[in-house]
Every structure is written in structure tokens, then in C-alpha cells.
Structure 1
Amino acid sequence: MTYEEYFTGDNNNLSQCIFRQKDIKITVAVVSRRSGTTTTAFNLSDCLYELGAKVSYTEANGYNHLKDIAAYYELIKDSGESFKYRGVEYYPYKQFPNDYNFNIFDIGVLNRNTLPIYKACNVRILCSGSKPYEIPEYKKALDSILELNISTVFNSCQEIGRTNLKKSVENENIKEYFADYSLNLFDGKVNEKIFKQILQEYIIEI
């Protein structure tokens, strides 16, 4: 494939990357509530925008957090029911927009209701806690997706526990990453290195 067959994101940033294809669908799920799916999805959205991509985020779950986030941060109301902030489009109500480099779907807890969306996307991220009592939930969530290529993001995991976590699941389809704690929903830098590794198939740095 030549460089002419690639294209860059269409936004006001000076693109740092070339992006392969359009409408790459990324799903972010979590093994249990409060394990970082929304923070991860928002940080990823901002990271991709900062790299020069055209990005959308969809709240594809029933939590309705986007309404509160939009009010708190005074996001700009766009056409219809969507919002815009720092160049990223945010969609509520399980909307599935087109014409973006990356569409990010925050589906919440991975279960039989959200599993079809999870399986249908190009890139699948699974967020999990890293405490000993959270690992059984992680393993249980993997039971239904072991045949898929998965990127697991462990949030707030101390260095001492990472070796044991890597040993907990031995499956070549699963790539495990350890994210730094993020205080800011719109901080695309804190885990930029991880996100680039997860999406290396679709991004060429220039």
C-alpha cells in the first residue's frame, strides 16, 4: 500500500500521523462498573484528536454520563443531540456516526447485551481493575471473548502486581497494558504510548 492510499484526519491540528482507512470502530468495555471505561474512552478520543485524527465518541450504554459531563465542562452543543469539545464529537443515545477516522464506542460493562457490539468492532479494549478480588471478574469476562483479539487495559496497577497479572491469563490473542492514573477526562497524553501500541495497525507516525 502506498502513501497515496492513506489519508490524514481533517481537523485544525497539524497532523502528526497518517491514518489507514476511515471509520475504524473501537469499542471500550469494562469488566465491572467503576473500572475506568469512560475515562479510557475519553482519553483515547483526545489522544487521537491530538495526533490529527477526526474522532467521534459514542456513549453506547445506559449510564447517561455524557449529559452530566457536557453540563459540567460546558461542552458546545452541536447539531442534533451531539456535543463538541477540542475537536472531538460526542454522541449520546447509542448513535453510530460515519465519516470519521475513528469511532469510539463506550459500551460499559461487557455482558451478553453489549457483546454483539463488542465483537463487531475493529479494535476491542477491555478495562479492568487490578486488585486481587477483581481478577476473577476479569477472567470471567474473558470466557466469552477468548477467540477475539483483545487489548486489556489495567488501571492503577502497582508495579509489584504486574507480573502476577501477566501470568493470570495466558492467551496469545490478549495483549495486556498497564495504564497510568488519569485525573482528567480530556488528557490524551497520559497514556498516549499505550494507545499508539494498541492502534499501531492503523497509525503511521510522520
Structure 2
Amino acid sequence: MAGILFVGSEMAGHLLSDMTELPVTYTGTIQDVEKCRDLVIADNYKTVIFDLKQFRDDFHVIASEIKKMSMATQAQFVFFFIGGSKKTNIVVALVEEGFHCFVLNSLNGPAKDELQLCLAGYATVEDIAHEEPIETIAEHSDNSVGKQIVIAIGGCCDRIGTTTQALQLVKYLQFMGHRACYIQYNHSGYDFVGRTKDILQLEDVDNDIGRVTFANVDMYAAPEHIAEIKAMGYEYLVYDFGHDFSVTEWLEKDIRILVCGSSPYELDSYSDFVRRGSQSYASNIIYNNNVHYIFSFVPEADMDDIKELMEAAGDHTYFSAYTPDAFTLNAANNPVYAAITEAKNVTIPQKKRGFLGLFSGGKGVNK
């Protein structure tokens, strides 16, 4: 992993100077929490530390945006709020979102002790009882249960990367503030979800409905429970069709993606796919702008040729960046998923509170 990212100035993060041997990258002061998003997922950081005092956003916005960032990366999140109380709104809101590593003490010695615990993965702030409920992202979503969007990802041939694209798409949608899940829906005989559970010895499972959760991604290996899955409130259901699937069923989904490649074998497989079924299927796939195409491992020099080859579908043809870890969002692919899904970034409306609102245990100071 790439070491530590400190979201804030080097002065604010001075405690780190002799606390770790890992390389530390400082972003400099950032007042708008949304401007941190791409920086946090730009590299495979082991730990991301946020200086909360620099932000000028409402505490609800800070907490929800940071939660979305955490869904897109496997980094550990730590929070500097030197001199602050654990009962402050921003700390309570972050604890509500499942974060527990905070450096609060204003004295260097105790603060370093807290930081050492955080870097070792230990909680320094446990659950906090509070009277007023904190708003959640789901309450402000632009999608609701009953308006679920189903995305179908199929491949033109085997081992083309449908699973990676499906997982990356789930991570992207989470990054944008939406609830999304992965559904294994292929006939290859390879149980990706089950193998992931066994290899990683995962314990966050629900065998009754075939759910396995890893890196904040809910994965389902039992599509026969789709009615129960839909009832759980996901806004997006991302189906991994693999390469052996019914074109008719694939075309029935709301958003259809075909993963392709540029090698002679992969291009030939793509041609075979187009010829499947009746001519009307081929016409629908190629000319009606109803399908999106993601090409993997294409040299930049060949991209224009590929788009020309795709003819009328060229405007719906995209190129995926190299993604070695499917469970960590590769920000280079964000423009691709943004164009395909048109998913909005779900942000809780700001109340235009000022800096002092972060330090208030109540409603804060209105500006």
C-alpha cells in the first residue's frame, strides 16, 4: 500500500513526523469536504487521516461524504479533532457512520498515544449516546425502494473481467452515495462469492439468502432470493452475467454493459456475440444506443481504431483503466461509470453553518 494520506496541512499533521515509518502525503488545507474525494481514492493508501477542523461544511455533509469515501477504499480512516469533545456533532455523526479512530487530546503526549492506538487499528471513541438522531444518506437519496435500477454486465468471452467491472461499478455507486449490491448471475459454474468467502474466511455472511459482505460490498450468490434482496432497499442491483448468458434476459435490464477486449480472439468473440439470436437482437445491440461497451486492456494508440470499428456504437464505447484490486475503486474509471449510469452525487443539503458549528454540542451557530 502507498502509505498514509493526511487530508490537511503539514502543520496540522505534525504529530505524524515521528510516529510512523510509512511515507506521508499531505494534501494541504481543504475547506470543502467534496474536494477530498478524488484525492482519497487516487492511490491505495493504508491509512487516510482527516483534519476535521479545516472543513467549513455542515457536519451532516462531512460525515456522509467521508462515509462514501470509505466505501470506495480499503484504507483505515482516522480523524484529527485536536482539542475537541467526543460529544461534538461532527464526532457523533462520524461515530454514527461507524468510525471510531479519533485523536482529540490537545496535549502532545496523550494525543500521540491516541494516534498510536488509531494507527494500530484500535478505537479511541466508542458509541456515543445522543438524544437527537443524525440524518442518514438514505433519507436524502434521489432513488427509493421500488425505483431500483438493474444493471446487467456481460462479457463477450470468458475471463474478460465482468466481475471486476461489476464490483467497481458497485464501489462507484457507493462512492456517489447510493446503496448498491453485487449479484452473481452466471452459468460458468465458478462460485465467485462462495470462493471469496472461503479464501478470505469471511464471517459477515447470511447463508439464508446467500449474502457475503467484504470491503463494504454486499454480494449475493443466490439470485433465487431476488425478491428478498430487492426488499432490502438497494437503489442499484448490479448483475454479473459472466460470458455465458441469455441475450434476451440481459437486454431486459435497465442498463446493459458488454465487456470486450481488443485481442483478435476477443474481437472475434464480440462478433460471435453480435450474431447471437435473431437479427433484431444484433440491431438492438449495435445501433439503438441501448448498450454500453467497456473495453479492457486496450493500448491508447488503438482506442480510436476500436471506436471506428464499433461504428454507430462508438459513442457508447469506453475504455477501462487497469484495475488490479476489484474491491478498491479505481478513480480513473469514474468518468466511464458516470457516463453510463448518470448517477447523481447524493449530498445532504447544507445548512450554511459556519466554522463554530463544528465545536457546538447542539445546533451550532447559524450564519
**TM-score strictly above 0.5:** yes
Please give the per-residue CA displacement for 1:10-41, whole angstroms capped at 9, x wherever unaligned: 9x9355x9544531000000000010101111
Matched, 1:164 2:296: no
Distance 2:175 2:235 in 1: 13
Q: Give the percent of matched residue pairs that are identical in Structure 1 and Structure 2.
A: 22
Matching residue of 1:147: 284
- After TM superposition, the structure 1 = structure 2 runs for residues 54-93 of structure 1, keeping only pairs within 5 Å, are 54-62=179-187, 63-75=190-202, 76-78=204-206, 80=208, 81-93=210-222
* Cα deviation 1:86-138 (Å, max 9, x = unaligned): 43321103242213110000011154xx2232111100010011113321221
Amino acid at match of 2:263: K
Q: Judging changes above 3 Å, is the alpha-carbon distance between structure 1 residues 106 and 147 closer, same or farther for their aligned structure 2 residues? A: same
- Say which structure, 1 or 2, has more relative contact order (CA 8 Å, 6+ apart): 1
Q: Which has the higher helix share?
A: 2
Q: Relative to 1, partners in 2 of residues 1:86 and 1:52: Cα closer, same or farther, differing over 3 Å?
A: farther
Higher deviation after alignment, 61-70 or 17-26: 17-26
SS in 2 for 1:61: coil
- TM-score (normalised: structure 2): 0.48
Change (3 A) 1:52 1:74: farther
Secondary structure (helix, strand or coil) at the match of 1:90 reads strand
Q: Which moved more, 1:123-132 or 1:137-146?
A: 137-146
Q: Are residues 79 and 23 of structure 1, via their aligned partners in 2, closer, same or farther at CA, if it must alter by over 3 Å?
A: farther
AA matched with 1:155: S
Report which stretch shifted further, 56-65 or 177-186.
Answer: 56-65
Q: Secondary structure at the match of 2:327?
A: coil
Q: Please list every run of 5 or more consecutive structure 1 residues that lacks an aligned counterpart in the other structure.
A: 1-9
CA contact (8 A) 1:147 1:173 kept: no
Find the aligned partners of 1:93 and 1:175 in 2 and give their Cα distance. 31
- Report what 1:7 is aligned to: none
> Which runs of structure 2 are paired with 1:34-45 in the superposition (5 Å)?
34-45=159-170
Partner of 2:265 in structure 1? 133
Secondary structure class of the residue paired with 2:311: coil
Tell me if 1:13 matches 2:67: yes
Q: Secondary structure at the residue paired with 1:126?
A: strand
Q: Cα 1:197–1:93, aligned 2, differ >3 Å: closer, same or farther?
A: same
For these two proteins, the number of residue pairs brought into alignment is: 193
- Distance in 1 (CA, whole Å) between partners of 2:156 and 2:313 is 20
Unaligned runs of 5+ in 2: 1-63, 69-136, 276-280, 348-367
TM-score, with structure 1 as normaliser? 0.82
Instruction: Determine whether 1:193 maps to 2:335.
Output: yes
Matched, 1:94 2:223: yes
Amino acid at match of 2:283: L
1:73 Cα deviation from its structure 2 partner: 3.4
Q: Give matches, 1:113-124, under 5 Å.
A: 114-124=246-256
Could you tell me whether the CA contact under 8 Å between 1:152 and 1:174 is conserved in 2?
A: no
Amino acid at match of 2:237: N
Check 1:73–1:19 CA distance in 2 against 1; reply closer, same or farther (3 A cut).
Answer: farther
- For 2:317 and 2:257, locate their aligned partners in 1 and report how far apart those are by CA, in whole Å: 10
2:239 pairs with 1:105: yes
Larger-gyration structure (1/2): 2
